[in-house]
Amino acid sequence: MKKIIQLTSGRGPAECNFVVTNVFKKFSEACTKSDIKFDVIEREIDKDFNQLSSVVIELEGNDLNSFLKEWIGTILWIGKSPYRKFHQRKNWFIGCFELEIVKENLINSNEIVYQTMRSSGNGGQNVNKVNSAVRATHQRSGISVVSMDSRSQHQNKKIATTRLLLKLQGFETNKLKDLVQKKWNNQTSIARGNPVKIFRGDKFSE
């Protein structure tokens, strides 16, 4: 079974990006404990504090529906702002949404050309100096994406393929943001009173 989900700060302030970053860490740990494989397909990072404002994740594993019941919806963090010392607000909300799964049979795999390349840019230990990065190009449309998220060329090919399919289905970054924003607007006023998860304090304890 596969699922694609997104953690997003919606229209929230910088503190909500801080929450997305830390909840993503908790979510990754939960996936590992439940033997669920996950790949980061897209991520958006705010320029001010280098925190995640949005992350799209592909999940693969057994009984994902039961696992995601504890995550899909609004997530609340109760804690003091890490950026505004005297700010009185202590409740910060983010959203976790399921996105439409991409169907690979919508295009012919022969239309995708792969090219290996050397990883570059700011990646710290996640970027090496061998040709592990992969560019996937859809020949008919000319749309192309690159993945250098993993040290494994095979894993980067898989991520690049999913990323390309998302683009081909119209889930480009801006359209994806619009889609999530609509969902966020529809759910925020109701879901804030009934979060599916609550984290507290600097260690994000449940």
Q: Across all residues in the chain, what is the average pLDDT?
A: 84
At 72, the amino acid letter reads I
Q: Which residue has the higher pLDDT, 37 or 182?
A: 37
- What integer pLDDT is reported at residue 90 of this predicted model? 94
Q: Is the pLDDT of residue 68 over 50?
A: yes
Burial zone of 150 (CB within 10 Å; 0-12 exposed, 13-18 middle, 19+ buried) = buried
In this prediction, residue 127 has a pLDDT band, given cuts at 50, 70 and 90, of: very low
In this prediction, residue 41 has a pLDDT band, given cuts at 50, 70 and 90, of: confident
In this prediction, residue 175 has a pLDDT band, given cuts at 50, 70 and 90, of: low
Token duo for residue 134: 């992969």
Identify which of 15, 68, 91, 74 has the alpha carbon closest to the alpha carbon of residue 46: 15
C-alpha angle 41/192/201, rounded to 5°?
A: 75
- What integer pLDDT is reported at residue 80 of this predicted model? 96
Q: Is the pLDDT of residue 86 over 50?
A: yes
DSSP state letter for 102: P
In this prediction, residue 184 has a pLDDT band, given cuts at 50, 70 and 90, of: low
- Mean pLDDT along residues 14-26: 96
Q: Which residue has the higher pLDDT, 178 or 133?
A: 133
- What integer pLDDT is reported at residue 62 of this predicted model? 92
Q: What percentage of the chain reaches a pLDDT higher than 90?
A: 52
Question: Is this prediction's pTM over 0.85?
Answer: no
Q: Is the pLDDT of residue 204 over 90?
A: yes
Q: Is the pLDDT of residue 192 over 90?
A: no
- Give the distance, in angstroms, between the CA of residue 184 and the centroid of all CA atoms in the same chain: 15
Q: Which residue has the higher pLDDT, 120 or 60?
A: 60
- What integer pLDDT is reported at residue 190 of this predicted model? 40
- What integer pLDDT is reported at residue 176 of this predicted model? 60
At 10, the amino acid letter reads G
Q: What is the largest CA-CA distance in the chain?
A: 58
Distances from the Cα of 161 to the Cαs of 11, 39, 104, 107, in angstroms? 29, 12, 9, 11
Token duo for residue 32: 């590992």
Q: Which residue has the higher pLDDT, 181 or 84?
A: 84
